[in-house]
Amino acid sequence: MPTATEAVDDYLKAIFELEELGGRASTAAIAKKLDIAAASVTGMLRKLAEQEPPWIEYEKHRGATLTERGRLRALEIIRHHRLIESYLHDTLGYDWDEVHDEAEKLEHAISEQFEERIAQALGDPEADPHGHPIPRKDGSMPERNEQGLLELEVGATAVISRVSDRDPELLRYFSKLGVRPGARLTLLERSPFEGPLLVRFDQATDVTPLGFRICREIHVSPTETAPS
């Protein structure tokens, strides 16, 4: 059975993350995510679909979906990535805006034994420093009740469950605002025309405005239903 290369892993992980957002992963979306020309993506998708057994199912103009084999491999690499992030942050003292790029370099290189040692050393965590769930060894994911902050009803209280880890500058800004997994907030007002959301963090007296773009990068777990 052909083994996965670093390039294959990058594609499988990208497709998995795009599928999480809903449906098939389009060629254009994969190209944007990996910063690769669309023509090159098309050729690679065909190769992944032609492997025996195939990593993906691919149809021209409809994009790609992972096969069970592809899904399990993607989850394995994601597990590596998020465990490494956690180890760098919790044990080596990296800030949360530094760990993503380091984990990208290391996720393909570690052995299964090293992965297991990291998991044991950290107490088998369920989430990385940004709140993203860490796939279990068997490929299952911790269950969550969460939604985008933009979907939260005015008056509702929620706990931040995860934030995007792609932009170090945004993570540094989140730190200044107190936007971190575990932080509790109440949505006070939603401005029209993609204006800011006004929130109050638990124990705070000031109101914090969060811009529309920022809110798209935050997921929450509701704790109280907004009054009808």
Q: pLDDT, tens digit, for every residue of 212-225?
A: 999 999 999 998 65
What pLDDT score was predicted for residue 21? 80
Confidence (pTM): 0.90
The pair of three-digit structure tokens given for residue 115, joined into one six-digit string = 């992965």
Confidence of residue 204 (pLDDT cuts 50, 70, 90): confident
Residue ranges per structural domain of the chain = 6-66, 78-142, 147-224
SS (H, E, C) 173-214: HHHHHCCCCCCEEEEEEECCCCCCEEEEECCCCCCEEECHHH
* CA 212 and chain centroid, separation: 19
How far is 41 from 82, CA to CA, in rounded Å? 25
The answer to whether residues 167 and 220 touch, using CB atoms and an 8 Å cutoff, is no
The per-residue pLDDT of the chain, averaged, comes to 93
Question: Alpha helices of the chain — where are they, by DSSP H?
Answer: 6-20, 27-34, 38-50, 68-90, 99-106, 112-121, 168-177, 212-215
| pLDDT average, residue stretch 138-154 | 93
Report pLDDT for 228. 45
Grade residue 1 by pLDDT with cuts at 50, 70 and 90: very low
In the block, tokens 């290391």 appear at 106
Buried b (16+ CB within 10 A) or exposed e, 140-167: eeeeeebeebbebeeebbbbbbbbbbee
Give the 3-state secondary structure of residue 20. helix
Pick the CATH number of 6-66 from 3.40.50.720, 2.170.130.10, 1.10.10.10, 2.40.30.110: 1.10.10.10
The pLDDT of residue 225 is: 55
Distance CA 139, CA 142 (A): 10
pLDDT of residue 60: 86
Residue 60, SS3 per DSSP: coil
Q: In the 8-state DSSP scheme, what is residue 139?
A: S
The CA angle 15-115-170, to the nearest 5 degrees, is 55
CA dihedral 89, 93, 97, 103 (to 10 degrees): -50
The CATH number of the structural domain formed by 78-142 is 1.10.10.10
For residue 227, pLDDT beyond 70: no
Q: Which residue has the tokens 């669309």?
A: 38
* Intrachain domains 6-66 and 147-224 with the same fold: no
Q: CATH homologous superfamily for 147-224?
A: Ferrous iron transport protein A (FeoA) (2.30.30.90)
